[in-house]
């Protein structure tokens, strides 16, 4: 398998540290509000990567944190602490907010068929571990105390900007326009490991530490949770592209300073989902959540299908029109799969199974090309193989794609049967004749049949999902 690695800026063959095993870490959500569908694009694409690794036989262990304490990196942070802001907004405690939105996050994941990682760690449960690693960084001379906070000293590293040759003046927190400088830092890129004094001092959650009562910075969470559960050598670290700098850059700085060797080999970054007017946000205009999609009549799996139609390393534009196109395409796919579920028996055509499965693997081996994998799914439907072979392929591909293909195909048949059960046989017969007429491009006859159907009290319409029949009210 070839994966694009943000560290080397190229596609590399994926070789894990230990044969047959993969350690995988994912930055989890900050649980101060519902996840937006942009966040969930990242989790869907990471889920595909994990499931495909399992499909090819790897034993995967995947770990994720939950950012339930702060989201702070330095006193230069703008605005409010997100967790505190959420608690104030809803007149709840920070822990109540964290619990509520953690549950909401996993509900959304379930609806989108995103598997829960093997290990999920809320940051508030790992305070001792953060203190232990920060103490070690102090002992090794990589961290210093200033103004009551513990900072990581980026000047001690040979190379800090690992993902890009960033222009420090443009990117370092504390030097951009409108962002306050943190006077305590020795270097512009230094970041806080432990806060005891900050402008965010009204924190609800604080813990004792060798440096006084306080709370951890954001970046240290992921380093500690990953190293504790996945050991000193991490195979794949995932996250949205916005996390590459400074979050992942700082994770690497801390972890490698602590370990004394290279930590993670492959960095898998997902590009953003944007709206037509720019960045997806939780405060701007209509806040796009899974529940909103459901309210508007879209099954969550349609959003998953929409995401899979594009490559994870390209920005994706969300619009209701684009989602409608995905809905129509998904509907057609389900309609084509439906008759296969009614045919039983027959031996699996091994050669055809292998040919198509190979094509599916080639697509995903090529830097998780999900759009190409979907094309192979269409090739299965076009294949001359029998229904048993096609169904076996669809079921197997869906272990990775997670699109509920066969379940929704069966549901489609049930719903069609229920709908036509209420429609008189005479009308159904005319509808069938009209379908034939349209196929034969005899539109005059089709119109005549539509009028006949109307005279019996029914309206027939061609939609992108197929033929719809409804009673005229």
In the complex, the residues that contact ligand AMP under the rule CB under 6 A are: 27, 29-30, 38-39, 41-42, 67, 239-240, 242-243, 270, 272-273, 280
Comparison of 215 and 298: residue with beta carbon closer to Zn ion: 215
Residue 222 contact, options ligand AMP, Zn ion, none, Cβ 5-8 Å cut-off depending on partner type: Zn ion
Three-class secondary structure of residue 150 per DSSP: strand
Q: Cβ of residue 348: shortest distance to ligand AMP, in angstroms?
A: 39
Q: Cβ of residue 117: shortest distance to ligand AMP, in angstroms?
A: 13
* Cα–Cα distance for residue pair 441/364, rounded to 1 Å: 40
Helix intervals (H) in 140-248? 168-171, 218-230
Comparison of 315 and 395: residue with beta carbon closer to ligand AMP: 315
Which residues have a Cβ under 8 Å from the Cβ of 393 and sit 6 or more positions away? 353, 356, 357, 360, 380
Q: Cβ of residue 203: shortest distance to Zn ion, in angstroms?
A: 20
Among positions 222, 302, 326, 356, the unique one binding Zn ion when judged by CB under 5 A: 222
CA geometry: angle at 360 spanning 358 and 366, to 5°? Answer: 100
Q: In Å, what is the CA distance from 237 to each residue of 154, 267, 326, 399?
A: 21, 5, 29, 22
Q: Cβ of residue 240: shortest distance to ligand AMP, in angstroms?
A: 2
Q: Cβ of residue 154: shortest distance to Zn ion, in angstroms?
A: 18
Residue 373 has which token pair? 């994998």
Comparison of 206 and 313: residue with beta carbon closer to ligand AMP: 313
Residue 313 contact, options ligand AMP, Zn ion, none, Cβ 5-8 Å cut-off depending on partner type: none
Comparison of 67 and 370: residue with beta carbon closer to ligand AMP: 67
* Cα–Cα distance for residue pair 2/4, rounded to 1 Å: 7
Does position 27 interact with Zn ion (CB under 5 A)? The reply is yes
Residue 303 · residue 272 · CB < 8 Å: no
Comparison of 270 and 431: residue with beta carbon closer to ligand AMP: 270
Three-class secondary structure of residue 210 per DSSP: coil
Q: Cβ of residue 118: shortest distance to ligand AMP, in angstroms?
A: 18
Q: Cβ of residue 258: shortest distance to Zn ion, in angstroms?
A: 16
Which residues have a Cβ under 8 Å from the Cβ of 403 and sit 6 or more positions away? 113, 301, 304, 305, 308, 330
Name the one range near Zn ion by CB under 5 A: 22-30, 314-322, 448-456, 457-465: 22-30
Residue 240 contact, options Zn ion, ligand AMP, none, Cβ 5-8 Å cut-off depending on partner type: ligand AMP
Q: Is the peptide bond before 246 cis (omega within 30 degrees of 0)?
A: yes
Residue 370 contact, options Zn ion, ligand AMP, none, Cβ 5-8 Å cut-off depending on partner type: none
* Spacing of C-alpha 449 from chain mean position: 48
What is the binding site for Zn ion (CB under 5 A)? 27, 222
């Amino acid at each position: 398998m070839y994966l694009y690695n943000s560290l080397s800026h190229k596609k590399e063959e994926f070789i894990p540290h230990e044969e047959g095993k993969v350690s995988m870490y994912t930055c989890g959500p900050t649980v101060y509000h519902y996840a937006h569908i942009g966040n969930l694009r990242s989790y869907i694409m990471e889920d595909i990567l994990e499931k495909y690794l399992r499909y090819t036989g790897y034993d995967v262990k995947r770990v994720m944190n939950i950012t339930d304490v702060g989201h702070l990196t330095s006193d230069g942070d703008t605005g409010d602490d997100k967790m505190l802001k959420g608690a104030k907004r809803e007149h709840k405690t920070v822990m109540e907010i964290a619990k509520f939105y953690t549950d909401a996050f996993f509900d959304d994941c379930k609806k989108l068929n995103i598997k829960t990682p093997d290990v999920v760690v809320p940051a508030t449960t790992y305070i001792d571990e953060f203190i232990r690693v920060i103490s070690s960084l102090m002992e090794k001379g990589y961290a210093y105390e200033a103004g009551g906070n513990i900072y990581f000293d980026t000047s001690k590293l040979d190379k800090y900007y690992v993902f890009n040759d960033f222009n420090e003046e443009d990117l370092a927190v504390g030097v951009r326009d409108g962002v306050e400088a943190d006077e305590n830092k020795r270097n512009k890129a230094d970041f806080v490991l432990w806060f005891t004094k900050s402008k965010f001092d009204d924190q609800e959650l604080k813990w004792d530490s060798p440096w006084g009562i306080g709370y951890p910075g954001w970046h240290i969470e992921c380093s500690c949770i990953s190293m504790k559960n996945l050991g000193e050598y991490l195979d794949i670290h995932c996250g949205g592209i916005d996390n590459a700098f400074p979050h992942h850059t700082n994770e690497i700085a801390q972890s490698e300073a602590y370990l004394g060797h290279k930590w993670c080999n492959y960095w898998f970054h997902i590009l953003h989902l944007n709206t037509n007017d720019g960045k997806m946000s939780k405060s701007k205009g209509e806040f796009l959540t899974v529940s909103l999609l459901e309210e508007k009549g879209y099954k969550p799996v349609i959003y998953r299908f929409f995401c899979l139609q594009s490559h994870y390393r390209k920005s994706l534009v969300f619009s209701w029109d684009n989602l409608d196109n995905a809905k129509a395409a998904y509907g057609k796919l389900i309609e084509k799969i439906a008759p296969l579920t009614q045919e039983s028996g027959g031996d699996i055509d091994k050669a055809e199974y292998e040919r198509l499965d190979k094509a599916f693997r080639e697509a995903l081996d090529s830097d998780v090309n999900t759009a190409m994998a979907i094309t192979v799914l269409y090739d299965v439907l076009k294949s001359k193989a029998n229904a048993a072979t096609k169904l076996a392929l669809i079921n197997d591909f869906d272990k990775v794609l997670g699109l509920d293909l066969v379940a929704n195909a069966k549901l489609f048949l049930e719903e069609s049967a229920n709908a036509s059960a209420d429609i008189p046989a005479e009308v159904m017969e005319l509808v069938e004749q009209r379908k034939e007429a349209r196929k034969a491009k005899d539109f005059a006859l089709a119109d005549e049949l539509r009028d006949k159907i109307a005279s019996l009290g029914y309206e027939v319409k061609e939609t992108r999902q197929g033929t719809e029949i409804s009673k005229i009210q």
